[in-house]
């Protein structure tokens, strides 16, 4: 499949679709351009009530499916059932691309799960595995694949490449896009005592299609990627790296805030204030583009 990331429309600023905040999300739909949903929560055999929820949101927002169960770094082939389920959802939503993670997390039958997105070895052998799977997925889904950088506590030993070298090689060999989680960049740099800006610059920024931002928790000088906080306090430094990334990612199409817990009762404080701040930073960069979404 010929992949041209430039053909993906600008989707705008959004949040994750979460059951806990579904009413507030619809109430504030004029301020939210796009929603990202977790693929594994919306399978073809979902309950009628789940399907009704999906249809309701689909009638009001563009929806981007974001998978967590592909385990693209595992040695086994992607199960056919998994590909069919992903394709079904992508087609239903008319998704402009499909996103997943540079990770491994389960076995072929999904009977054994680590319960966590775990880092993959950045080796030549692993590179071939990931490239082959992306090329297959792009053909079968007939849309670009966009992969996300994850957090990990340390670099795996005996690697042939650094994380950013590995990601760059994957993108070069497959034309895949990058979902740049700016918070994950900052957390990995913070915990490993690296310079976050130098780390950020090493990613193939021209391949970035989407970004994630999320508030983590800082305990005893260790940052945890909890998706539970606003982007303030100890998370405030992430904004300067987001500003740098926005200015250097010419193919950026969507920015999503990931919030999975600790929503509280103040939706504005938990999410909308950060949505507006993203828009204030990104808007000047794309305001001259005819592709800008109406709500931006
Ligand atoms: Fe993320």
Residues with CB under 5 A from ligand 1 (ion): 181, 212
Query: What pLDDT, on the 0 to 100 scale, is given for residue 214?
Result: 97
Query: What pLDDT, on the 0 to 100 scale, is given for residue 290?
Result: 47
Q: How far is the CA of 148 from the centre of ligand 1 (A)?
A: 7
CB of 226 closer than 8 Å to CB of 181: no
Q: How far is the CA of 81 from the centre of ligand 1 (A)?
A: 25
Q: Scan for tokens 């430039």, then name that residue.
A: 6
Q: How far is the CA of 118 from the centre of ligand 1 (A)?
A: 13
- Which domains are assigned to the chain? 7-286 (3.20.20.150)
**CA angle, 290 then 293 then 295, to 5°:** 135
Q: What is the mean pLDDT of each run of 10 residues along the chain (296 residues)?
A: 90 96 96 97 96 96 96 91 97 98 77 74 96 97 97 88 97 97 97 96 98 96 93 96 96 96 92 97 76 55
Query: What pLDDT, on the 0 to 100 scale, is given for residue 154?
Result: 82
Q: What is the 3-state secondary structure (H, E, C) of 141-209?
A: HCCCEEEECCCCCCCCCCCCCCHHHHHHHHHHHHCCEEEEEHHHHHHHHHHCCCCHHHHHHCCCHHHEE
């Amino acid at each position: 499949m010929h992949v041209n990331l430039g053909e993906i429309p600008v989707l705008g600023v959004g949040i994750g679709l979460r059951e806990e905040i579904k009413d507030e999300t619809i109430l504030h739909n004029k301020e939210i351009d796009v929603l990202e949903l977790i693929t594994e929560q919306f399978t073809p055999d979902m309950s009628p009530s789940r399907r009704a929820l999906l249809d309701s949101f689909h009638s009001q927002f563009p929806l981007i499916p974001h998978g967590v169960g592909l385990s693209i770094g595992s040695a086994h082939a992607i199960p056919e059932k998994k590909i069919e389920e992903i394709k079904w959802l992508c087609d239903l939503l008319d998704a402009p691309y499909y996103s997943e993670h540079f990770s491994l997390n389960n076995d072929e039958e999904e009977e054994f799960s680590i319960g966590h997105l775990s880092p993959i070895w950045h080796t030549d052998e692993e590179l071939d595995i990931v490239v082959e799977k992306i090329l297959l997925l792009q053909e079968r889904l007939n849309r670009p694949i966009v992969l996300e950088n994850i957090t990990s506590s340390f670099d795996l030993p005996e690697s042939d490449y650094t994380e950013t070298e590995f990601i760059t090689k994957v993108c070069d060999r497959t034309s895949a896009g990058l979902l740049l989680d700016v918070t994950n960049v900052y957390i990995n740099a913070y915990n490993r005592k690296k310079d976050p800006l130098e780390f950020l610059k090493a990613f193939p920024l021209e391949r970035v299609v989407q970004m994630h931002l999320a508030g983590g928790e800082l305990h005893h000088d260790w940052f945890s990627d909890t998706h539970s906080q606003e982007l303030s306090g100890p998370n405030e430094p992430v904004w300067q790296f987001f500003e740098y990334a926005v200015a250097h990612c010419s193919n950026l199409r969507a920015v999503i805030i990931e919030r999975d817990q600790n929503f509280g009762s103040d939706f504005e404080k938990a999410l909308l204030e950060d949505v507006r701040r993203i828009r204030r930073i990104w808007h000047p960069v794309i305001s001259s583009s005819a592709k800008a979404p109406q709500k931006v």
